[in-house]
Amino acid sequence: MLETDQAWEVFEKLEDCYFNQKQPPAAQNTSIENDGCALLSHFDKHGQVEFTEKVPADAMVCTLERFKFYLEQHGWIVARKEQLVERLMRF
């Protein structure tokens, strides 16, 4: 077992490493470049493939959260219609 001072040194090194990461882990990247050879598979509730379809080269397949993030990064405002009307009526 490590001595108390040595254990704290190890803890501080781990903490520094954890909080000073320069880039997020690769698993965070959820988008994949589409080279025109991508297929989208649709599954039923039992996990069986219902059908597949070719994804066009100019299309992007992603989650709704990722799509919202993409739009916001390109200057779009993403809001529910009711929220937008409510906020506009305040002015």
Determine the pLDDT at residue 45: 92
Q: Which residue has the tokens 């989650």?
A: 63
Task: Enumerate the β-bridge partners of residue 40.
Answer: 53
- Cα–Cα distance for residue pair 27/18, rounded to 1 Å: 16
Determine the pLDDT at residue 14: 75
In this prediction the pTM is: 0.41
- Cα–Cα distance for residue pair 88/77, rounded to 1 Å: 13
Determine the pLDDT at residue 82: 86
Kindly report, residue by residue over 26-83, the tens digit of the pLDDT: 545 556 666 667 888 889 999 999 999 988 888 878 888 888 898 889 998 888 888 8
**24 has pLDDT over 60:** no
